[in-house]
Amino acid sequence: MNAIYLTLFVSLVLVLAAGILFGFLYRQRSHQYSDRLSLLPLDSDEREESASPTTTFPQKESRS
C-alpha cells in the first residue's frame, strides 16, 4: 500500500513540475522560436539539388 502512495506522490510532483515549466516557458514566449525554426529550409535540401550523381546504375535488360 505504501508503494501506491509513493507512486501517486511522485506522479503529482512530476505533473506540477511540468506545469510550472510550461508556464515559465510560455511567459518567456520561447514557444515562438520553434515555430520559426520549423519554417526554415534544411541545408541538406540545397546540397542535394545541386550535387551531381556520383554513381550510375546499370540498366536492366528487357527480355521478350
Per-residue pLDDT at 4:
95
Cα angle: 57, vertex 59, 60; to 5 degrees:
125
What is the reported pTM?
A: 0.47
Mean pLDDT of 8-26: 95
Say which residues have a Cβ less than 8 Å from residue 25's Cβ, sequence separation at least 6: 31
C-alpha cell at 22: 510550461
What is the residue extent of each domain of the chain?
1-29
pLDDT at 23 > cutoff 70? yes
Instruction: Indicate the average pLDDT of the chain.
Output: 77
Report which residue type is found at 1: M
Mean pLDDT of 14-24: 95
Could you tell me the pLDDT band of residue 36, with boundaries at 50, 70 and 90?
confident
